[in-house]
Amino acid sequence: MKAALIAPCGMNCRLCHGYIRPRNKCLGCNAPDSSKPKSCANCKIAACEKRIQNGWPTCADCDTFCQRLKDLDKRYRSKYRMSMIENLIILRDHGMDFFLAQQERKFRCPSCGEIICVHRSKCPSCEKPLW
């Protein structure tokens, strides 16, 4: 887990299907636009003027989360059992090192111990069901 893979919205790109897939691999939301999937390259959350003007790497320091982020968080909580806003609050309250250590523990396959993908219900390494 690396700080460079934490997207402005709080997504840990290391857990994203686009990052771990073998072909047409995404390099993460903080990579140059040419290496991102179209959906990430055009992300309105990453383009937030308030975040950019304040020099914040993520939305964690923002006093109000925008509706786009709230909608994304709602979708991820219901479909993928992960919360962007929870990630941002942990980042804000405990810092990057704590957050990365927590992610390292939280997103491991209980069967093989490898890092899982939040977008899949099976471990990408051993194919065992995660939930």
pLDDT in tens, the chain (131 residues): 899 999 999 999 999 888 888 887 788 887 776 666 666 667 788 888 898 899 999 999 998 899 999 999 999 999 999 999 999 999 999 999 999 999 999 999 999 999 999 999 999 899 999 88
pLDDT of residue 39: 63
pTM: 0.87
pLDDT of residue 41: 64
One-character DSSP codes across the chain: --GGGB-TTS-BGGGSHHHH-SSS----TTS-GGGS-HHHHT-TTTT-HHHHHHT-SSGGG-SS--HHHHHHHHHHHHHHS--HHHHHHHHHHH-HHHHHHHHHHHTB-TTT-PBP-TT-SB-TTT--B--
pLDDT of residue 27: 82
pLDDT of residue 30: 79
What are the domain boundaries of the chain?
3-106
